[in-house]
Chain A
Amino acid sequence: MTDNTTAYVILSAILFTIGTIGVLTRRNAIVVFMCVELMLNAANLALVAFSRMHGNLDGQVTAFFVMVVAAAEVVVGLAIIMTIFRTRNTASVDEPRMLKW
């Protein structure tokens, strides 16, 4: 256990960065979603670390809410991916290109 908040926040930043690169680089829609989850988790980590820094539980409550929202988001998001997969037979994120010029 370290009393250095900065370390935890830096770890959070690193995880967030990895998640970002994953979102932009991976082509499978589900893997992209997982990287988004990673980014949310990184934010949670930062919240909990700051909660301990301030000495109150507000950060933890917020982290809890983030978790709930993430769960709801995953449900709906995966349902959408399933629907798209049914019609287009592919889970690639590069497939829907209707906005192309």
Chain B
Amino acid sequence: MSFVILASVTVIAALGLLFARKPVHAALSLAVVMVGLAMIYATLEAPFLFAVQIVVYTGAILMLFLFVIMLVGVDTSDTLKETIAGQKVLATLLGVGLGAILIAGIGQASIATMRGLSSANEGGNVQRLADLLFSRYVIAFEATSALLITAAIGAMVLAHRERIDPKQSQTDLAQKRVADYAKSGKHLGPLPPPGTFARHNSNDTPALLPDGSQSTESVPAILAGGRADEEAKGE
């Protein structure tokens, strides 16, 4: 019974991921999928995986996704119109075809009924997993840890920006600001931060000036757009 409910929820959430227009909605659908899968693991006598799924996948990986969506642009949404001719139709057809083939293949294969993990889980699932991990799969374990370290370093390298000109010290920056103000009347102080309002407070929400108009300077140039009109209408 529980399987049926869990399975339906998972599939509906997966479809939500497929059809959601805004990336944030897609991320949330994925979260539902992952939690659902965690529950299924729990029913399959895999408590450790149930926990790890929620902590690592939903808690870490999905959050990482959400951070990036924030940085890239909450509002960038796909239009329904497809740019490549025939892509959507063909993709759907082939995808469904793949699914059909997989299911047909599974149906043809004779899969035994579940034996259950009562004997394997003797003494606790975690302990038995630890036994396997550090005896039979220890090399794979070490390799994956190396992989993780590499991934972290890789991310750092990718995000690193090499400096071309010498770093300007505080004094240099302050002098430059004053010089600009003298020459062109550019505002001496820092740019205003994005606005913080009841309904929206992301990076692309513009701050309001004293007279109620939006400050275009408060939104990073690349994110400017979308949100500004809504605020003007709403508040």
Task: Mark each residue of chain A from 64 to 86: 1 if its CB lies under 8 Å from any CB of chain B, else 0.
Answer: 11011111111110111111010
Which residues of B have CB within 8 Å of A51?
44, 46, 117
- B159 touching A79, Cβ below 8 Å: yes
Q: How far is the CB of A18 from chain B (nearest CB, A)?
A: 4
Q: Which of B32-40, B164-172, B184-192 contacts A (4 or more CB under 8 A)?
A: B32-40
Task: Mark each residue of chain B from 112 to 123: 1 if its CB lies under 8 Å from any CB of chain A, else 0.
Answer: 111111011100
Closest residue of chain A to B61, judged by CB?
A74
B26, B52, B78, B120: the one within 8 Å of A34 (CB): B26
- B102 touching A16, Cβ below 8 Å: yes
Query: What is the size, in residues, of chain B's interface with A at 8 Å between Cβ atoms?
Result: 86
- A48 touching B72, Cβ below 8 Å: no
- B128 touching A57, Cβ below 8 Å: yes
Which residues of B have CB within 8 Å of A64?
48-49, 52, 129, 133
Task: Mark each residue of chain B from 212 to 229: 1 if its CB lies under 8 Å from any CB of chain A, else 0.
Answer: 000000000010000000
Of the A-B pairs whose beta carbons lie under 8 Å apart in the complex, a sample of 15, sorted by A's number, is A20-B98, A30-B23, A38-B33, A41-B37, A45-B41, A52-B46, A55-B117, A57-B117, A64-B49, A65-B144, A69-B144, A72-B144, A78-B155, A83-B159, A90-B76
Q: How far is the CB of A1 from chain B (nearest CB, A)?
A: 5
Question: If A17-B95, A56-B120, A60-B129 touch, does A82 touch B68 (CB 8 Å cutoff)?
Answer: yes
Which residues of B have CB within 8 Å of A38?
14, 17, 30, 33
- A91 touching B113, Cβ below 8 Å: no
Task: Mark each residue of chain A from 42 to 53: 1 if its CB lies under 8 Å from any CB of chain B, else 0.
Answer: 001100110111
Determine the distance from Cα of A31 to Cα of B53 in the docked complex, in whole angstroms. Answer: 20
Q: How far is the CB of B130 from chain A (nearest CB, A)?
A: 10
Closest residue of chain A to B128, judged by CB?
A57
- A67 touching B56, Cβ below 8 Å: yes
Q: Which of B82-90, B173-181, B193-201, B203-211 contacts A (4 or more CB under 8 A)?
A: B82-90
- B3 touching A81, Cβ below 8 Å: no
Determine the distance from Cα of A65 to Cα of B154 in the docked complex, in whole angstroms. Answer: 20
